[in-house]
Structure 1
Amino acid sequence: MGITEALQSKKGKIAMSYMYGWGSMVVIIGAMFKIQHWPGSQILLPLGLTIEAIIFFFSVFEPIHDEYKWEMVYPELAHGHDGLDDAHAVSNKHGMKAVGNGDAVSQELDKMLAEAKIGPELIESLGAGMKSLSDQAGKLTNITDASLATNTYVDSVKKAATNVDSLSEAYSRASQSLGVIAASNEQSTSFGEELSKTSKTLAEMNTVYQLQLESSKNYTKVTSSMYESINDLMSNLSESVNDTKRYKTEVTALANNLEALNTVYGNMLTAMNFKK
């Protein structure tokens, strides 16, 4: 049995339907993996394209559908061009009537929209509200930035505390050195040098401590400003939630009006078809 005869059988047709469905599925999944840059797209996409190529190869051997002589079943198809011209004339007549009815339906639709108070202002207000909601959602990224800045400030405060501990230890060592120097009256020259070094060390430590205090003050100011910004953002988000509730109510009312309008319009079309 050849390929053509096999594809003409019931099993062959079922196999081709499976090949069409599964092959298309693999191609779509491979394309999705490729678009999303997911791992495995280098395997799925070539595999799907290969399966599609195999399907196209076998589709060449599918049997051609038979052309039936419909004029034997419907004699009016065998009347020639005259019958077609008459059919076109009748079709045009009904088409003109349908256009007239379509204008009436359009006018009735505009009237219903006006009665339902669905105007361009409502649609424009809804669009503006959605845009405002999108802007407020975009501002949420500022919270992450504020959190990072706060973590940086905490690290700086920890470093400042460590430096203060080091300064305290240095003062303690300096006090011990002064006690030893005071007890050693015989080494007056060494006492002067040690006292000078200690004074320089204390001055340097005091400078570092002042810098740390200034840095802490600056971080405190920055953090206060950040918390004020966060409070403003939370206030804006609260207002945005209220606006979202109001927009949801308006959208629900709009959906209800459109549903009622669709029902009326469907009844009108049913009545028109019944008249025909």
Structure 2
Amino acid sequence: MAKHNETSFTHKFYGSVMPKIYGIGASVVILGAMFKILDWPFASLMIGVGLSTEAVIFFLSAFEPKSQEVDWSRVYPELADESTPMASPKARAAVQTSGDQTAQKLDKMLEDANIGSDLIDNLGKGLRNLADSTQKMGTVADAALATNEYAENVKVASKTLVDINQSYSKTAAALSEMSNASHEAKEYRDQVVSVTQNLSALNAVYEMELQDANSHVKVLNKFYSNVTAAMEGLNEAGKETETFKAELAKLNKNVSSLNSIYGGMLTAMKG
């Protein structure tokens, strides 16, 4: 069963491929962080790709099979404890004897190398000094990091000041244009006032002309009224002329009749 697990695809994948994926994914994450820290182009894209890669790696690592622990007590019996089945009394005795022999050999090697307690104390002091130096180096590294952050902040502040200067220049230009526009607006207002005055004068002239036109219209209306009355009088005169003509025709007819009568009477008187 163990041999089958060792030759399975999952074991091969997590044993051979996943370590490479870990390394490649870590490099992608570091590149994304570097792009973001240095504020390079496509920084947001790179940090997104890096975090996505890390999330995929963590997702795959969740399914990594548990590796089988090796019982090293089979090779090194001294590693076996009392709860281990292999730790028989003989094995424990052999381990104890082997441990004593190892300690004796170690003491002899230290004695031959002239390594005493003073040297070991000096070694301990040196290690403590090394630890202190390492801590101080960490403090220096923190200070360097803080300096880098300060430099980045100064850089950002400088960029902000440049943007503010540009904005101030644009604002000054806009104010200048507004001032020019105000001057032009004043000239436009003066022109509008002049046009308004001219229109007022034209309105006055037009009103006078309108009054004169109204007077002429009234005179013409009166004239037309008189002409109409005259035409009506002519019509009446025409009617009376017709009547006079008819009466005159009757009179002529009567005169003719009288002439005939008088002629007959004269003829009768002569005869």
TM-score, normalized by length of structure 2?
Answer: 0.30
Higher relative contact order (CA 8 A, sep 6+): 1
Higher gyration radius (CA): 2
TM-score, normalized by length of structure 1?
Answer: 0.30
